[in-house]
Structure 1
Amino acid sequence: MDWDLYDAVLFDLDGVVTPTADVHKHAWEAMFTAFLTARSAADGVAYAPYTEQDYFDFVDGKPRYDGVRDFLASRGITLPEGEPDDPPTAQTVCGLGNRKNDAFNQILASEGVTAYPGSVALIQQLHERGKPMAVVSSSRNAPAVLAAAGLTDYFGLIMHGGLAEELGLPGKPAPDTFTHAAEQLGATNARSVVLEDAINGVAAGHAGAFGLVIGVDRGAGVEALTAAGADVVVQDLDELVADEPATDEGAGA
């Protein structure tokens, strides 16, 4: 991996830097399972239960409310859009999204977060080389997660779901948030690397014609990530950490 070919490195957060994708998975599962159970009873319809595959197909990598909307559509369910400040009890798209977010924050507060060691090693090495880096996440929780992991100071920009909304940028799989991050770091798409574990994130990197799109397989699958546009797929970011040249003392030992 020749990092000198690129001017900026753009990291997704959940599943790439931190294992919080698992926390998101559990929060989505708890919320949708409870919702479908109640909805089935109310409608007299046996809706198909929520599965882990639904996470990858409809939710992973997307802004929160987009994930709610797309999953509900997969079950033929339509709810009012609501407003972002809807209470978690509201039977709206925003209400369900906020209910999931409450579950996520409860798990994060009780369990904390520790970044993947391989990801930390790569981030520290790139930092030492002076490589500009940004986090590009659909999650509004990205700043809190990075702070909990102790990694905030490594990144020149944290592009999260809330900031994207303020800027009027569409979320992944559109490439706009990645493009904005690259521009803020003084780089072009063609000279930037995207690291993503989500199908939608990889698709965003491919759609934006970024110089290199690296898929991180945390469960989506090598074939799916490659089909979405990943140029290369790794299991962990430690595979991208460059070997440091041996010292003269070490070479002669």
Structure 2
Amino acid sequence: MLALPDEINGFLFDLDGVVTDTAAVHAAAWKRMFDTFLAERNLDPFKLPEDYTRFVDGKKREDGTRSFLESRGVVLPDGDPDDPPEAETVYGLGNRKNALVLTLIAEDGVAVFPDAVALLERVRAAGGRTALVSSSANAEAVLEAVGLTGLFDARIDGVTARERGLPGKPAPDMFLAGAEAVGLPPSACAAFEDALAGVAAGRAGGFALVVGVDRVKDGAHGPSLAENGADVVVTDLRELVEQQ
């Protein structure tokens, strides 16, 4: 038996920082993109991990871009989702960042967290239903690259959110769509997140359990995850498999 409440049959996982070790790649891409933009305006550079954690982690690209720019007193037009990377718009900067992410992934590949795979395999073997709930528009490509597509019954990602007009995290809509996709109410689902916006979304959605996944060295991110809505914080998801 899993060390999780018996009433939980649905397991909704974020991707970056929970299943795949791509959060650092995203953080590096955000910094490179924003630093170039800020330097042209004589503004202080993007700070890691503070600015990443507070303003962009777990959010849709356009929401993260807008949130950080607002923190620096910069207002840009939203533009169009198909704006080219060189466009001086919210969508343009977001697409510039995405191009950098794809370059970094192509150069360095994608690592998978073994503890996440262990938990996914265990819950599926026990009859649980699984969904990926990620703000990333690249989620499908990343899953295919690491061979994990078969571990999820459904996928709600940045592409889905755009097609359906779903607000991004910290709004609960994407997680609620994930629960619906596996045919279960939030009260029968657990949400797994490493981002503050993500655990806040899980809490707002009324899920049975919100698990904060702290991948930061020495568990330094744990208190913030708990403050923002995590019921339990783990540094290794195997804790939820191996406890009896």
Report TM bin, short chain: over 0.9
Does residue 40 of structure 2 align to residue 38 of structure 1? yes
Out of 100, 122, 126, the position equivalent to 1:125 is 122
Does residue 168 of structure 2 align to residue 171 of structure 1? yes
State the Cα distance separating 1:4 from its structure 2 match: 3.1
TM-score by length of 1: 0.91
State the Cα distance separating 1:173 from its structure 2 match: 0.3
Identity %: 53
Q: Which residue of 2 aligns with 1:86?
A: 83
Q: Which residue of 2 aligns with 1:43?
A: none
User: Cα deviation per residue 1:176-235 (whole Å; 9 max; x = unaligned)?
Assistant: 111111011111101100000000000000001100000001237111111101000001
State the Cα distance separating 1:5 from its structure 2 match: 2.2
Q: Which residue of 2 aligns with 1:9?
A: 11
Larger radius of gyration: 1
User: Cα deviation per residue 1:104-148 (whole Å; 9 max; x = unaligned)?
Assistant: 000111111121011111111112112100000011011111111
Distance in 2 (CA, whole Å) between partners of 1:57 and 1:5 is 33
State the Cα distance separating 1:149 from its structure 2 match: 1.3
User: Cα deviation per residue 1:62-87 (whole Å; 9 max; x = unaligned)?
Assistant: 00011110100000011111111111
**DSSP 3-state at the match of 1:10:** strand
Distance in 1 (CA, whole Å) between partners of 2:106 and 2:163 is 26
Distance in 1 (CA, whole Å) between partners of 2:162 and 2:86 is 23
Q: Which residue of 1 aligns with 2:66?
A: 69
Q: Which residue of 1 aligns with 2:44?
A: 48
Q: Which residue of 2 aligns with 1:44?
A: none
Amino acid at match of 2:198: G
Q: Which residue of 2 aligns with 1:21?
A: 23
User: How large is the RMSD of aligned CA atoms in angstroms?
Assistant: 1.3
Q: Which residue of 2 aligns with 1:199?
A: 196
Q: Which residue of 1 aligns with 2:159?
A: 162
CA contact (8 A) 2:4 2:240 kept: no
Distance in 2 (CA, whole Å) between partners of 1:8 and 1:32 is 37
- 4+ residue segments displaced more than 2 Å: 2-5
State the Cα distance separating 1:243 from its structure 2 match: 6.2
Matches within 5 A, 1:132-143: 132-143=129-140
Does residue 180 of structure 2 align to residue 183 of structure 1? yes
Q: How many residues align?
A: 238
**DSSP 3-state at the match of 1:233:** strand
Distance in 2 (CA, whole Å) between partners of 1:240 and 1:26 is 30
State the Cα distance separating 1:2 from its structure 2 match: 2.8
Distance in 2 (CA, whole Å) between partners of 1:39 and 1:18 is 34
Distance in 2 (CA, whole Å) between partners of 1:130 and 1:154 is 12
Distance in 2 (CA, whole Å) between partners of 1:63 and 1:243 is 34
Q: Which residue of 1 aligns with 2:237?
A: 237
Does residue 59 of structure 2 align to residue 59 of structure 1? no
Which structure 1 segments of 5+ residues have no match? Answer: 41-46, 245-253
CA contact (8 A) 2:170 2:197 kept: yes
Q: Which residue of 2 aligns with 1:250?
A: none
Q: Which residue of 2 aligns with 1:248?
A: none
Which structure 2 segments of 5+ residues have no match? Answer: none
Amino acid at match of 1:227: E
State the Cα distance separating 1:241 from its structure 2 match: 1.6
**DSSP 3-state at the match of 1:237:** coil
Amino acid at match of 1:240: L
